[in-house]
Amino acid sequence: MKRYEQLAEDIARSIQQGTLGRGERLPSIRLASAARKVSPSTVFQAYYLLEARGLISARERSGYFVSGGAAALPPLPEPSLSAEVEATEVDVSHLVFEVLESTRARKVVPLGSAFPSPLLFPMARLAKTMSTCVQNMSPWLSVEDISPGDENLRRQIALRYLIDGLHVPAEEIVITNGALEALNLCLQSVTKPGDAVLVSSPTFYAALQSIERLGLRAIEIPNHPRDGIDLNALARALERHNPRACWLMTNFQNPMGSLMSDDKKKELVALITRFNVPLIEDDVYGELYFGDQRPRPAKAFDTAGLVMHCASFSKCLAPGYRVGWAAPGRYAKTVERLKLTSTLATSVPAQITLASYLKKGGYDKHLRNLRHNLLLQQIQFVEAIEHHFPEGTCLTPPSGGYFLWVKLPDGVNALTLHRAALNAGISIAPGPMFSAHQDFANYIRLNYGHLWSAEMEGAIATLGKIIRQLG
């Protein structure tokens, strides 16, 4: 990333965090140049980039000012904490499928999509790499690279763990068809029908679908919009219900975007270790952080082999390639055997392509650009929501990922809004699909992982009008 791009990203992050508020004046070119020890032209380029993105504006003879920011919208309310939580049979698939089907048509504005824009990824370079790899691929790889997966790719993943301060041997890693298969294999390896599984509330709808499909029961634990799951409620549930597993997202939780601190992650791992309950850690958004350093997963604090860490390249590098992995600790061999008896193997061309791409370098540069774009897009989406949505709207901008969890004014039904928005050519993800009890009737999840455009601005404005009509 060039110097002016780094400066622009730092300023954008200050706007996102509310350090620079709406209407606030930025330092002059001269002062910013001296403070950052860069040339005036570098500062000017950064300001020009931010202005082009709509984040700041120039005023004649006055300088540059913040044109928007996240600080003006009230934060999400604290979660309701229940003294007791109950195990619940899950039946959400019909609602989930109804919503997912609405996001497939390209003519629909995909605010309800679970995927970022494919235009944010190096698809051309990946295609070129795949062409070379497939032409030079040994025929024996087609039969050798069954579970646990391509050895070179597993080594590259193990190296990235090592860079982040985790020692995860390549022998523990199982390559899967996306993170979802990894998560499902982990869940299947430690449960049987009728068992209870702890999840956050709200939670990723695919976790609920997996629990439903395997005949399990869900225990929902309140989740805080900023720092994650309520550990006191989790401890009570572990003691009372004897669950067989936890399925949680500690980094940029879907749909809330919450991020657990290292201290909370340590306490979480201590809890599951005390009760000897495996944690299935869904960490697909961990690389999409807006800070200076990748947040550590809960697995970094695991010494008992109970954390089954799952991730993929789908959200950060190669959507559509469907390459993920599990690092399941003490359950590695069980997960590998389940993989062998279910889908057997993951696409060999996709595996060797990603292994080659990671080995040649460029991945971290791509990630820096991706994070930069997502941060700028978040600021633009939040400003548009602030401008177009009615009073009573609340949200807490996350420090990573690409989802906004939005509380609508009281009385606005998210499912009704979903259907009205779809008629207007806009998809959203209504809150009830993220709960086994189908709670969160006036919440929606919006995806800001798509490039900001006049179409996006128009979609947000239309949603605001519909919300006012429903209120």
DSSP class of residue 90? -
Q: Confidence class of residue 23 from pLDDT cuts 50, 70 and 90?
A: confident
373 shares its domain with 282:
no
User: Taking each helix axis from N to C terminus, what angle separates 151-163 and 348-360, rounded to the nearest 10 degrees?
Assistant: 40
| Whole-number pLDDT of residue 102 | 66
222 shares its domain with 269:
yes
Mean pLDDT confidence for 438-456: 94
User: For residue 105, what are the β-bridge partners?
Assistant: none
Q: Is pLDDT above 70 for 6?
A: yes
Q: Find the CATH number of the domain harbouring 244.
A: 3.40.640.10
The model's confidence at residue 420, banded by pLDDT at 50, 70 and 90, is very high
Which CATH number characterizes residue 412's domain? 3.90.1150.10
Give a yes or no: residue 375 inside a domain: yes
Same domain, 263 and 383: no
| Per-residue pLDDT reduced to its tens digit, 92-131 | 777 778 777 766 677 899 999 999 999 999 999 999 999 9
Are residues 205 and 100 in contact, defined by beta-carbon separation less than 8 angstroms? no
State whether 440 and 384 are in the same domain. Answer: yes
What one-letter code names the amino acid at 177?
A: N
Least confident window among 36-45, 113-122, 246-255: 36-45
- Is residue 293's pLDDT more than 70? yes
Half-sphere exposure of 430 (CA within 13 A, CB side): 25
Do 322 and 192 lie in a common domain? yes
Based on the fold, state whether residues 316 and 254 are members of the same structural domain.
Answer: yes
pLDDT in tens, 448-458: 999 999 999 99
What is the per-residue pLDDT for 53?
74
- End-to-end CA distance of the chain: give it in Å, rounded: 45
Q: What is the CA radius of gyration of the chain?
A: 23
- Count the neighbouring beta carbons within 10 Å of the beta carbon of residue 219: 23
Give the mean pLDDT of 40-44.
Answer: 86
Tell me, yes or no, whether 106 and 127 share the same domain.
no
Domain that holds residue 12: 3-66
- For residues 234 and 141, membership in a common domain is answered with yes
Domain boundary among 363, 387, 420: 363
Once rounded to an integer, what is the mean pLDDT over residues 260-284?
Answer: 98
* H helices present in 111-259, as ranges: 123-135, 141-144, 151-163, 178-190, 205-213, 231-241
Q: Are residues 260 and 385 in the same domain?
A: no
Look at residue 83 in the predicted model and tell me its pLDDT.
45
DSSP E strand boundaries for 196-331: 196-201, 217-224, 228-229, 245-248, 279-282, 307-312, 324-327
Domain for residue 80, yes or no? no
Same domain? For 198 and 258 the reply is: yes
- What mean pLDDT comes out for the span 85-91? 71
| Predicted confidence (pLDDT) at residue 240 exceeds the cutoff of 70 | yes
State the pLDDT at residue 471: 80
Tell whether 97 is covered by a domain: yes
Residue 283 lies in a domain: yes
Q: What is the CATH number of the domain that holds 26?
A: 1.10.10.10
pLDDT score at 56: 86
Final residue before a domain boundary, out of 312, 341, 363: 363
Helix (H, G, I), strand (E, B) or coil at 142: helix
Whether residue 52 has pLDDT greater than 80 = no
174 occurs within a structural domain? yes
Phi/psi-derived region of residue 322, left when phi > 0, alpha when psi is between -120 and 50, beta in every other case: left
| 71 — pLDDT class (breaks 50, 70, 90) | very low
Q: What is the total count of domains within the chain?
A: 3
Please check the confidence at residue 380 and state whether its pLDDT lies above 60. Answer: yes
Minimal CA–CA distance to 377: which of 467, 277, 263, 457?
A: 457
- The answer to whether residue 247 scores a pLDDT higher than 60 is yes
Residue range 352-379, pLDDT digits in tens = 999 999 999 889 999 999 998 999 899 8
pLDDT class of 138 with cuts at 50, 70, 90: confident
User: What is the residue-averaged pLDDT of the chain?
Assistant: 91
Residue 300 lies in a domain: yes
Q: What are phi and psi of 401, to 5 degrees?
A: 75, -160
Same domain (yes/no): 328, 390: no
Question: Residues 172-190: what's their mean pLDDT?
Answer: 98
147 and 274 in a single domain? The answer is yes
Residue 414 lies in a domain: yes
Segment 223-233 shows an average pLDDT of: 93
Q: What is the pLDDT of residue 78?
A: 65
Kindly tell me if the per-residue pLDDT of 207 is higher than 50. yes
The answer as to whether 436 is a domain residue is yes
Mean pLDDT of 374-388: 91
